[in-house]
Structures are given as C-alpha cells and as structure tokens.
A and B are shown apart, each in its own frame.
Chain A
Amino acid sequence: MKETFDVAIVGAGPAGVSAACILADAGIKTIVFERGEYPGAKNMSGGVVYGHDLAQIIPDYVDHKCPIERNIIESRIWYLSKEGGYSFGYRDSIFAAERKHNAFTVLRAKFDRWYAEQARKKGALIVPSTVAVDLLRNDKGGVVGVVTGREDGEVRAKVTLLADGINSPLAARAGFRVEPKPEEVALAVKEVIELPSEVIEQRFGVSNGDGVTIEILGEITGGMDGIATVYTNRNSLSLAIGANLADFATSKLRPYELLEAFKQHPLVVPLISGGQPREYIAHWLPEGGYDTIPALYGDGYLIAGDSAMMFNAMHREGSNLAMASGRMAAEAIIEAIGRGDCSRKGLANYGKRLAESYVLKDLKKYRRFGRFRYRHKEIFNEIPALASLAGREMLTVNGVSKKQKQKMIVKEVRRKMSILRIARLLWHSWRAVR
C-alpha cells in the first residue's frame, strides 16, 4: 500500500501491543498485524499476568476495565507421584490488599482483545485477520517493512518489531533466529473447565474474586521434563500440562493422554469434579532460556517477547517479559526515530535496556535451569516416587518403629539411585538456580 508508517509490528500479543501503546502515546505512527480474527483469538487462553509490568504501560488498567479473572493471593506447589504427593503453599493477605494484582489470572482471548483495544484508542492501527508473510528488505539486507498476505499488502516502515510469538517462521526465514531445537521448546495443552464461581471459591478457600495458582511437578508428566498448572479463573479453572518436545518425541506419549491422566490424579479430581470442559488448545513455549536468545535487533528491526525466546521457565513468567521487552523496544524505537537513525547502531539502546533490566538478568540467572531439568529425569521419575514412599510410610501407623521405616526408605533410595547420582543432582540443581 502507498501509505507508510513509522513502525510496523507483527503480532498483537502482550509484546506487540505493549510496544504499540508506548509508541502511539508518543505520537509515532504505528500499524500492528495480527493473524487471528481478533487479538487473542489464536492465543493460549488462561494464564497469569503481572500487574507491575502492565501498570508501566497502562497505569490505570483497573479503571479501564481490564478483564481480570482472579487476583492471586496464594501460590501452591505440588510434587506428585502417581498415587499422591506433597503440597506446599504460600498465602499472604498483602496480596489481597497493598499488593493486590501483583499477579492475576486472565483469559487470553478476552485480555489480548482488551489490551489491543487500549492501543487502538491511543491511536495505533490494529489490523486483524492479516498474516505477515515476509519482511521487506533493502539491498543492504536492512528491514524496511512487512509483506502481508493481502492484496496490495506491502507496508513500508522505518522500523519493524517482530512480536510474533514462539512460532515465528518470519524471524527464522529472515535468518534472524535459528529454528529452535526440539529440546528448546515445550509443547503444552490446556483445558478450560467451567465451574460455578462459588464452587471454585469453596474448593480453594478464597472469596471476593481472589484466587490460587498451583504449579505441579512429578510423575504426572510421564517421566518427561515438564510441568502442569491449575489456575483459578472467575468461573473456570485453567488446567495445563506440557513437556519438552524432545521428550515427547522419545516417549511417544501424546499430549492429550497426559492431560487426561492428569485430570484423573487423586489430587486433581476433587478440584475439577462436576466441571464442564469448555475449550482445549495447544501451544508451544520457549524453554531454551538465555542461551537461545537471538540477536535482538539489527538494521531496521527488533525482536521481543516469545519470538526472542524470553521465557523464565523457573518462575513461569512469559507475559511480563513480553510486556517489558515490548515496552523497551518501543522506547528504543522512539529514541532512534528522534535521532533519525534506525540502523542497528541507532536501535542498540534496546539491548542495553534489556541487559540492565530484570528481563535478561533473570534469564541469565536461570540459564542452566532448562538443561538441568532435561538431564535429570529422576526429578520426574524416581524422586517423586521415593518421596511419596517416604510420606506414605512415615504417616502409616502400623506398629513398625520409625527407625525401622527410615532404614527401609533409605535402602529403597539407595537401591534406586547411587550416591554419586544424588550428589550430581544436588550440585547441578544448585548451579542451575544460584
């Protein structure tokens, strides 16, 4: 098309829309392409969003009717064997008061749509049902715009922001990002189960629109490096389970089988019983961490969010990294356009901002975490089984002395795992998170 823009953004997820908001606020002419019928239509529904990062873009998001499902006041962690498991949790009234909306659940189909609407109101042009199929390049290889799948669909822009998520063939085709290896991505499936609000509040011991998240590790992922989650929404629960793609390939397990088994687990059944499955969806997650982050900017372009592999697997944070990186990309773009230099050099402040922020610091801190989990399959096999054995035996009152039981447990541990293996596990786990 004839009209040109200052900035073209590919993808109306948290990363792209955050950038669009900041740019539009600064009066920068911005166009956003989204392949879904509307923003959020193609996104994984359900998830936790963090108030801090959202407020940096829309400070009064609550007044603007942000579709919040539940304010999270408690995080639980479960470590499960096939038959049972351990449950830890931390609840704090501060999360219902001063630190309200520190974390809250959203349904992505609603949230992304609302978020994009805020960017539209600020003046960004959000174009749905439109796929970006390629990038426009100049003879020096610099990016000068986007090619979409529509007639007369080439758009020239001073800067292009790739915020097209984990499945970013665009970045791969442009040579900006190597195609992630199977062990660097996870495949997750999710089901939203509808239940009356009162039932959810009763089952999780909350009220007033507060909610709980549960992160689950153990034998539920069939020995694969993976995780499951249960998040409370207003009148539904989001259940998700996923595992490393390379593990799926070797185990031959199917994601939906994993989800079905998860729903049958004795700790899960009482939470979901009587619920109506409403939607089912599958999605990739970037799991490669710090070492798989591509070059984040170049002549005329930047990459943000999942597309740049920014996901903190340790803390299940992705939407906040997407928002923060989108915001920093926008800030760098504003400076670059102001100076009239949108080359790699002109955009370099993006890299600097990210490096100084929690985004890259956190990802760097946990750079070994992914490989650690992937290599130590005992976390998903022997250890949860042994931990359950210990719990079960110590709690059973049957006339056997505790000392005797302890001996039996230790013997069983030694039978399953060598001292060396345990030592290695401890050392690696320390290195992975320190």
Chain B
Amino acid sequence: MHIVCCVKQVPDTTQVKIDPETNTLIRSGVESICNPYDLVAAEVAVQLTERYGGKVTVISMGPPQAESALRECLALGAKEAILLSDRAFAGADTLATSYTLSQTISRIAAVNPVHLVICGKQAIDGDTAQTGPGIATRLGYSQFTYVSEVVSVDVENNTIKVKREIEGGSELIEGTLPALLTVELGLGIPRYASLPELARALRQDIEVWGAGEIGALPERLGLRGSPTSVHRIFAPPVREGGRVFDSTENTERAIEDFVEVFFEKESPLLEHLLSQDKG
C-alpha cells in the first residue's frame, strides 16, 4: 500500500501573539514546528504500512526551512519526502494549496499508485480544515474527514472502513480506495524515533519540486490562484467573567442576591426544570 501524507510547517501558535494596536501577528522569535495534526497523520500512515505493508511518502509545500517538518515525519518511519518549494507557490490560500498538493499527488501516483492520502484535520495556524477535502475533491478520491479510527484497509478489494466523529457520537463507514482521510489528534501518538531511524531521517536527501515538476497552471498557483484575501486579523474580545456572589462577609445576602439574579435571568430554564419535575 502506498500512502501519501501532506504536512505543513506552522508557527508554534502557543507562542504567537496578536499586536493589539495593528492587529497583525507578531511572529518574530516564534519557532516553526510541524503541525501537530499532521504529525499524527504521518504516525497513522506509518502504523498502517506496518500493519498492511507498503510505504509512506510525505509532501509539504513551503519555504526551504519546511524541510525540517518533513524530516520529523521521516524519523517516524516515512520512506520518502518531497518538498514543494517555488516562489510561484507563495501566498497560496486553501484553494491554491489544495490544487498544488493534488497536482503533486497525481504526479506521484502516475509512477507509484497511491491508495491513501492522509492529512491532519486542520492546521493550527489557520484552523480552516479545507485543504484535505479540497485535495480529495480534485483527485476524485473518496473522503473521510475527522477520522478517529481506521478499522481496516483492504487493498485487494479496494475498500476502507473508518470510524469518524460526528456530533453526539461516531459513525462507522466504508468506502472505496483511493481515499483521503483527515485525522483527529487522538488517532495516534507520534513515536519517539529510535536513533538509527532519526539518523536516517536527518541524512536522507529530500527532493525539491517546483511548479514545473508538477505540471501546474501558473494562474492557479500561489497568490494568483488565491481568491481569498485576509480582511482583518483580530484577537477575540476577552471574555468577562460571570458575576461573583461573595459569601465570605455576608452569606445570607450573597444567596439572596444569587437567587434574585438567577430567577430574573434564567426564568425560562427554571420553568423548564420545574415542568420536568412535575412530569
């Protein structure tokens, strides 16, 4: 089985702050990391090849430094890595990105047929969760989003069975290969690579592909191929805490206040509770 994983290098959002005056991201001094969801995707892909045989190819679109995200995936056990780096790719939104990645995957598949594409559920810097579905749609693959368990893959019969999260529960669904999965964090824990695997990952050559290698149409790449424009970035207003009824001084008073406010504000809820009690 041949699995392609799409990974992205993102700023460590636990460190990114928003400048309250200019409403722009303060990225200076912020480290880049491999998107945590994508690391899980790579781990899951490697586990599947351990279960069913085959190999994993990781791809990433980004600047030359994105190489380090690819090496992290190689250390987990991916066998090949391709970096998509070209000035023409810069400034891509999810539309242009999914176009670029799907072109790449079809090129890869032309040489070595692809059974599965696995992406993280979303990237922590944009949280859009659009790239995976965009790729599946363009390639005509079946798509399974928010996958929480890969139950089985049957390459002979071209089928896959997965569990996915839906509101209020989960569903078990089966579909045909080739397929694209986007995965939840809980699906796997990226392993702490053994020393020989890490050494291999650090030394392996990483191919770099540009627009030419993937046979892409220039007008659909990068900024030119991106209809989305960022209007404004802002920090959500800080939530104010609820009212505090301080009972340290005067307990009776605090309870009285509470009951009064509660009856006034939450009367529908109370009515509902009382009516249920009757029934």
Contact = CB atoms under 8 A, between A and B. Distances in A.
B195 interface: yes
A392 B195 CA distance: 64
Contacts of A125: 199, 202-203
Nearest to A126: B202
B193 interface: yes
Given A125-B202, A125-B203, A127-B202, A151 B195 contact: yes
Contacts of A126: 202
B236 interface: no
Interface string A1-26: 11100000000000000000000000
B198 interface: yes
A151 B202 contact: no
Contacts of B198: 127, 130, 150
Nearest to B198: A127
Q: Which 6 A-B pairs have the closest CB atoms?
A: A151-B194, A150-B195, A153-B195, A1-B196, A152-B194, A1-B195
A126 B29 CA distance: 23
Contact of A151 (B29, B31, B192, B203): B192
Interface in B105-155: none
B202 A2 contact: no
B199 A152 contact: no
Contacts of B193: 150-151
17 contacts: A1-B195, A1-B196, A31-B199, A125-B202, A127-B202, A130-B195, A148-B195, A150-B192, A150-B193, A150-B195, A151-B192, A151-B193, A151-B194, A151-B195, A152-B195, A155-B195, A279-B29
Nearest to B75: A129
| Interface range on chain B (Cβ under 8 Å from partner) | 10 to 19
A91 interface: no
Interface of B is mostly: helix
Contacts of A3: 196, 199
Which of A3, A37, A151, A155 is the most central at the interface, judged by chain B CB atoms within 10 Å of its CB?
Answer: A151
Contacts of A2: 196
Contacts, number: 37
Nearest to A107: B29
Interface of A: 1-3, 31, 37, 125-127, 130, 148, 150-153, 155, 278-279
Contacts of A150: 192-195, 198
A1 B29 contact: no
Nearest to B191: A151
Interface in B149-204: 192-196, 198-199, 202-203
A127 B199 CA distance: 7
Interface string B243-254: 000000000000
Nearest to A31: B199
B41 to A, nearest CB: 20
Contacts of A31: 199
Contacts of B192: 150-151
Contacts of B29: 278-279
A134 to B, nearest CB: 14
Nearest to A150: B195
B237 to A, nearest CB: 22
Contacts of B199: 1, 3, 31, 125, 127
Contacts of B194: 1, 150-153
A37 B15 CA distance: 16
Contacts of B195: 1, 127, 130, 148, 150-153, 155
Nearest to B203: A125
Contacts of A151: 192-195
A2 B195 CA distance: 10
Given A125-B203, A150-B195, A155-B195, 14 more contacts: A1-B195, A1-B199, A2-B196, A3-B199, A31-B199, A125-B202, A127-B198, A130-B198, A148-B195, A150-B193, A150-B194, A151-B194, A153-B194, A279-B29
Contacts of B202: 125-127
Contacts of A279: 29
A2 B194 CA distance: 12
Nearest to A37: B31
A110 to B, nearest CB: 9
A1 B193 CA distance: 13
